[in-house]
Amino acid sequence: MFLAGETVRVKDQWPEATGPVHIRTPWYVRGLEGEVVRCLGEFSNPEDLAFARPAEKRPLYHVRFLKGAIWSEAKPDDELLIEIFGHWLEPVGQERP
């Protein structure tokens, strides 16, 4: 689990290139770093639910991104808050246990 304040990177993966999938992670933040704001709890994985597969519960996070890292026309202090499941996030910097 990630903690509030931790820097994370959204995995730069594109499973939709190999077949039908239901991805809930916006393409425009894949590969970018953001900051965990809070854990929202654990929820059934919608990527499995969409295909009526058994869906294990996964942690869901609010992750904050600076909009300037995504869109060049953004103001310097603009932020974007996105809900992202933990299996799409990886730690940045220090090693985690």
Of 28-32, 61-65, 68-72, the one with minimum mean pLDDT is 68-72
For every residue of the chain, DSSP letters joined together read ---TT-EEEE----GGGGS-----S-GGGTT-EEEEEEEEEEEE-HHHHTTT----EEEEEEEEEEGGGT-TTS-TT-EEEEEEEGGGEEE-SS---
Residue 79: strand pairing partners: 66
Cβ partners under 8 Å of residue 44, min gap 6: 55, 56, 57, 58
Residue 22: what pLDDT? 83
- pLDDT surpasses 70 at 94: no
**What's the whole-number average pLDDT of the chain?**
90
- pLDDT surpasses 80 at 9: yes
User: Please, what CATH class does the domain formed by 7-91 belong to?
Assistant: mainly beta
Residue found under tokens 């969409």: 50
